[in-house]
């Protein structure tokens, strides 16, 4: 049975389906996750697919599915305790295990199954250069798509087959850029070429990431610096080529500023104004406030930055309410909306937002300190195993920027974001993590 399952998962057909799935995730992001298939959304179906692999990774001998030594007993036990904690929480809360909301609110557990699934898939198969160039083409598409948009008629059509139409958020652009180049920079043998493509695309994407989300922009800078450190040997001994690259990159960066602001082609006298427009777009600083950027008042932390302050108040409401209701250790559970998000003002323009815009605070709210520590333990043992067995720290180039942006946005709570993260993580472990 185990051999048959492994043969199916590692088949060419499954590899192709995974590729098609990733293409649609890149193309439509959250909109694709809302596509209805037999009255179920795509996001719900992929979690249904992922769940069995969580249990396989716990209860079956890992060597029966993957040859890598990366899936240690420590990882398995941490994941087992995380699942048992979920079962305990649902049971004591008298919730129904048939309620889809219970699994949606605990998606941070079930999405881990995609990591194990990808470890199986990529044990025998790995993307080639043609897949890398396909990712580059998709990055160009989503850049244009998010600037110029699509017609109202096409939006209306998508709403007939999906529960929501939404352009890519800053966190979506960030993870698509990061996973594309984290893999591409390791697949492309000629590191000089890899470095040049990376610089050019970074110049193109920097303005749109800053325009969309400051946290995604900072995460992008973290990734950029870490990858430059990795690729810097390819910069040596070619000053003329480096100079040309710098000039071309600056021109692309400036033109991207004008493109993102829909201002046509480069106008020298307008560069400063357009750059300020992008920088100030998401900035809601109260310049008249006679306070520091962060300040404490009546036992709470505030910020003069409106967007950050909105998040700070939600996070503190969660912490204070958990403490006051004696639920700090076990959390609210998984059956209903987190109380801090019941305020209509916090539910967004469409009234559907339930996310606290911080991945770790969300886990704390759902599973309490116990659930949070168990999840962090799983991740700690996983990273420890990767570093020890592969003898390098490149995994942080992928993990750090993605986790950083998840601390300021509702990203890991959606289906597509953690799936892309875990798939790329599994691919790296199986094929590109060895020195």
Asked if residues 352 and 413 have their Cβ atoms less than 8 Å apart, the reply is no
> What percent of the chain is predicted at pLDDT more than 70?
97
- Whether the pLDDT of residue 435 is over 60: the answer is no
Distance of CA 325 to the CA centre of its chain: 32
pLDDT of 361 > 90? The answer is yes
Q: Return the higher-pLDDT residue of 94 and 224.
A: 224
Instruction: Give me the DSSP letters along 267-305.
Output: -GGGHHHHHHHHHHHT--B-TT--S-SEEEETTEEEESB
pLDDT exceeding 90 applies to what percent of the chain?
70
Is the pLDDT reported for residue 124 higher than 90? no
Arithmetic mean of pLDDT, 374-398: 91
Q: How far apart are CA 174 and CA 143, in angstroms?
A: 11
Instruction: Specify the DSSP class assigned to residue 234.
Output: G
Tens of pLDDT, residues 46-77: 999 999 999 999 998 787 788 767 888 999 99
Model confidence pLDDT, tens digit, residues 76-96: 999 999 999 999 999 998 888
Q: What are the tokens at 400?
A: 């750090």
Q: Of 39-43, 61-65, 215-219, which has the strongest mean pLDDT? A: 215-219
Are the beta carbons of 113 and 51 closer than 8 angstroms? yes
pLDDT of residue 44: 92
The pLDDT-based confidence of 298 (bands split at 50, 70, 90) is confident
What pLDDT does residue 433 have?
Answer: 63
Q: Note the pLDDT of residue 181.
A: 97
Picking from 227, 280, 226, the residue whose alpha carbon sits closest to that of residue 257 is: 280
> Do residues 70 and 385 touch, judged by C-beta distance below 8 A?
yes
pLDDT, mean of residues 309-322: 94
Output the DSSP codes for 341-393. Answer: G-SGGGGTTTT-----S-HHHHHHHHHHHHHHHHHHHHHHHHHHHHHHHH---
Residue for token pair 């999405």: 111
Tell me which of 345 and 168 has the higher pLDDT: 168
Mean pLDDT of 368-382: 96
Q: Over the stretch 105-114, which tens digit does the pLDDT of each residue have?
A: 999 999 999 9
> Which range, of 74-78, 268-272, 318-322, 398-402, averages the lowest pLDDT?
268-272
Q: Which residues lie closer than 8 Å to 375 by C-beta, 6 or more apart?
A: 82, 108, 109, 363, 367
- 3 state DSSP class of 323: helix
Whole-number average pLDDT of the chain: 91
Category of 358 on φ-ψ map: left (φ > 0), alpha (ψ -120 to 50) or beta? beta
User: 3-state DSSP call for residue 37?
Assistant: strand
Helices (H) and strands (E) in the chain, counts: 19, 4
Q: How many residues in the chain? A: 435
Q: Is the pLDDT of residue 268 over 90?
A: no
Q: Is the per-residue pLDDT at 176 higher than 60?
A: yes
Q: Which band of pLDDT confidence, cut at 50, 70 and 90, is reported for residue 287?
A: low
Per the listing, tokens 């970074």 go with: 202
Spell out the alpha helix ranges (H) of 29-151.
30-33, 42-59, 73-92, 100-105, 107-110, 113-124, 129-148
């Amino acid at each position: 049975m185990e051999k048959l399952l492994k043969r199916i998962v590692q088949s060419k057909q499954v590899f192709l389906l995974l590729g098609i799935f990733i293409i649609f995730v890149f193309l439509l992001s959250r909109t694709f996750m809302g596509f209805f298939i037999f009255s179920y959304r795509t996001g719900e179906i992929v979690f249904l697919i992922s769940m069995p692999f969580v249990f396989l990774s716990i209860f079956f001998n890992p060597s029966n599915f993957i040859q890598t030594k990366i899936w240690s007993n420590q990882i398995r036990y941490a994941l087992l305790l995380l699942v048992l904690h979920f079962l305990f929480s649902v049971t004591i809360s008298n919730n129904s295990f048939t309620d889809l909301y219970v699994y949606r609110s605990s998606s941070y557990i079930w999405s881990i199954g995609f990591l194990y699934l990808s470890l199986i898939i990529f044990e025998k198969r790995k993307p080639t250069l043609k897949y890398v160039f396909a990712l580059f083409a998709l990055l160009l598409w989503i850049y244009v798509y998010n600037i110029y948009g699509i017609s109202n008629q096409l939006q209306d059509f998508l709403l007939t087959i999906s529960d929501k139409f939404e352009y890519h958020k800053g966190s979506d652009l960030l993870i698509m850029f990061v996973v594309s180049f984290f893999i591409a920079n390791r697949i492309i043998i000629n590191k000089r070429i890899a470095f040049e493509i990376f610089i050019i695309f970074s110049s193109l994407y920097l303005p749109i990431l800053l325009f969309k989300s400051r946290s995604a922009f900072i995460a992008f800078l973290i990734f950029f610096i870490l990858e430059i450190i990795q690729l810097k040997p390819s910069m040596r001994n070619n000053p003329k080529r480096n100079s040309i690259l710098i000039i071309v990159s600056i021109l692309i960066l400036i033109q991207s500023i004008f493109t993102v602001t829909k201002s046509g082609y480069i106008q020298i006298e307008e560069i400063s104004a357009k750059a300020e427009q992008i920088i100030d777009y998401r900035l809601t600083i109260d310049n008249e406030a006679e306070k520091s950027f962060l300040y404490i008042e009546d036992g709470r932390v505030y910020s003069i930055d409106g967007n950050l302050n909105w998040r700070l108040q939600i996070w503190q409401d969660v912490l204070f309410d958990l403490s006051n209701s004696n639920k700090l250790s076990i959390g609210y559970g998984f059956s209903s909306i987190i109380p801090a998000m019941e305020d209509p003002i916090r539910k967004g323009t469409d009234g559907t937002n339930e996310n606290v815009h911080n991945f770790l605070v969300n886990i704390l709210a759902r599973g309490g300190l116990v659930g949070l520590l168990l999840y962090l333990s799983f991740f700690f043992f996983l990273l420890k195993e990767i570093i020890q067995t592969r003898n390098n720290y490149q995994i942080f180039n992928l993990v750090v920027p993605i986790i950083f942006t998840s601390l300021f946005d509702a990203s890991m709570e959606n289906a597509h974001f953690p799936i892309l993260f875990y798939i790329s993580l599994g691919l790296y472990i199986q094929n590109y993590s060895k020195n």
